[in-house]
A and B are shown apart, each in its own frame.
Chain A
Amino acid sequence: MAVTVRGLRKTFGERAVLDGVDLTVARGEFVALLGKSGSGKSTLLRVLAGLDGAVEGIADVAGSVSAAFQEPRLLPWRKVWRNVVLGTQCSREQAVRALAEVHLEDRADAWPGTLSGGEAQRVSLARALIREPSVLLLDEPFGALDALTRLAMGGLVQELWRKHGQSVLLVTHDVGEALTLADRVLVLEDGRISAEHRVDLPRPRAERELLALRDTLLAELGVEQHALA
């Protein structure tokens, strides 16, 4: 198991934000975690990322963790490529290669402040992936993007997941997104996993006719095709 969570409890004062969470993520599995705001999903991710230590129960991650957040959280005073490699031993060349995977190799020398929201989020994805994590935590990474960029980003995440094969735990409040991307969808409610659905459908997941029409429409709207693959 890449992620093992058993009876996890996290309290803030009297309130238990996580109240006995049980959850596993297999090696290479893509799991989506759905939940309303306040359901504790971000807290769970923070615990797995090692940002929240004071918990009861087991929260075990095998291997290395990396994360992308709702806001890109790039360092505005470091060039894009430096943002990708800082904190690692990687070279500029490797940074450009990682940026090429998110189709941003030509922005390597840009300042983060000059990127669009979607571009910045892709840099943040490249930054997470260059660390070759065994578990990738995604905390609503498309939450702040517009609908079209969101679709493209979802496609990109799926493409990168297939290529790198790491385990992914995606926190989202978008049901469609979860169903399109994940092997398994969990619902977190009142600090506990309340439902679980395995999605045994081949990817890409959409009815053929709809897909063709959607692709056409998206192409007309300027969303790149490779992002939908």
Chain B
Amino acid sequence: MASVTAVADQVRPQRNRPGRTRRRARIPLLRLASPVAIVLIWQLASSTGLLPSRLLASPIAVVRAAGELIANGELTSALGISVVRAFLGFLIGAALGGLFGTLAGLTKVGDIGIDPPMQALRTLPHLGMIPLFITWFGVGEAPKIAIVAFGVALPIYLHVYAGIRGVDRKLLEATRVLGFSRVQRLRHVVFPASTEHVMVGLRLAFASAWLSLIVGEQIAADTGIGYLINNARDFLRIDVILVGLAVYAILGLLTDAGVRLIERRVLRWR
């Protein structure tokens, strides 16, 4: 008994010390080491003139440019416009992709009528359609929103369709014997069973949305982050180009983290 308490006394204070948690935290910190080193080397190369500023601005210059763009309001207004484009395009694309995917997944007519053309469209690189979109929609907001919507609709469609088609038939049969109505089967079997697929579709759709936006904004834009970048190119402001790219990257990270958050909540039964 005495030896047990002695051991416990030895163990307890140690457990309260941050040793364990620090060791756990050290691994992500360690993973930060190489990116930080790269930025440091980059800065060093820029300061010593090894990396000419006409090729790449130094990290400090990029941060300074970001501060400047935030101060004069250019970045915030460009960001606002880009986010609205992405959001509208996403909404339209997700609604259409979700609707078609559900129809094709649930109904025979939809499967026969909708799925073949959608599967054919998927082989088409949608960014290649920009010239067509410009012809159809001109150079205003419409082609940019349309290209995002198109880029979003396909992954959503494919994953909603696959999710619904992949529902375990045995579960459907069981619920039929147990007296579920058609609506109840959709609500409690088909839709929950397809969420896993839909979540994957959402993440791919967001990635595609930002990519489509970046490309869409490069053409004939007079507002938005893409315009900021294009304009900076004309004035050889490499630092501003880098700020624009960083903003795109952060937007992508944020939406991905958002979907992951939803995923953890919706799939918490796992």
Contact = CB atoms under 8 A, between A and B. Distances in A.
Interface of A: 49-51, 64-67, 69, 71, 73, 75-78, 86-88, 111-113, 127-128, 131, 137
A131 B179 contact: yes
A69 B269 contact: no
Contacts of B223: none
Interface in B154-182: 170-171, 173-181
Given A75-B171, A77-B269, A86-B184, A65 B192 contact: no
Contacts of B64: none
A51 B171 contact: no
Nearest to A79: B269
B188 A73 contact: no
B189 A50 contact: no
Contacts of B193: 77
A50 B269 contact: no
Tell me the dominant secondary structure on chain A's binding face: loop
B270 interface: yes
A87 B269 contact: no
A76 B269 contact: yes
A75 B179 contact: no
Nearest to B170: A73
Given A66-B177, A77-B192, A77-B269, 4 more contacts: A65-B177, A73-B171, A75-B175, A86-B178
Nearest to B178: A87
Given A69-B170, A77-B192, A77-B269, A51 B184 contact: no
Contact of A69 (B174, B180, B181): B174
B170 A75 contact: no
Contact of B178 (A78, A111, A112, A127): A127
Nearest to B189: A75
Given A69-B170, A69-B174, A71-B170, A87 B179 contact: yes
Nearest to A67: B177
Contacts of B179: 64, 66, 87-88, 131
Given A86-B188, A111-B269, A113-B269, A51 B176 contact: yes
B27 to A, nearest CB: 29
Contacts of A77: 192-193, 195, 269
A5 to B, nearest CB: 17
A206 B184 CA distance: 45
B178 A75 contact: no
B173 A87 contact: no
Contacts of B173: 51
13 contacts: A51-B173, A66-B178, A67-B174, A69-B170, A75-B188, A75-B192, A76-B270, A77-B195, A86-B175, A86-B180, A87-B175, A113-B270, A131-B179
Contacts of A128: 178
Query: Which of B173, B174, B192, B193 has the largest number of chain A CB atoms within 10 A?
Result: B174
Contacts of B270: 76, 113
A76 to B, nearest CB: 6
B180 A87 contact: yes
Contacts of B181: 87
Closest 5 CB pairs of A and B: A73-B174, A77-B192, A87-B180, A77-B269, A49-B177
A22 to B, nearest CB: 23
Contacts of A88: 179
Nearest to A76: B269
Contacts of B189: 75
Nearest to B185: A87
Contacts of B180: 86-87
Nearest to B173: A51
Contacts of B269: 76-78, 111-113
Contacts of B178: 66-67, 86-87, 127-128, 131
A76 B189 CA distance: 9
A196 B181 CA distance: 38
A127 B177 CA distance: 11
A78 B178 CA distance: 15
B174 A78 contact: no
A50 B176 contact: yes
Contacts of B192: 75, 77-78
Nearest to A48: B177
**Which of B177, B180, B269 gathers the greatest number of chain A CB atoms within 10 Å?**
B177
Contacts of B195: 77
B230 to A, nearest CB: 47
Contacts of A76: 269-270
A64 B179 CA distance: 10
B172 to A, nearest CB: 10
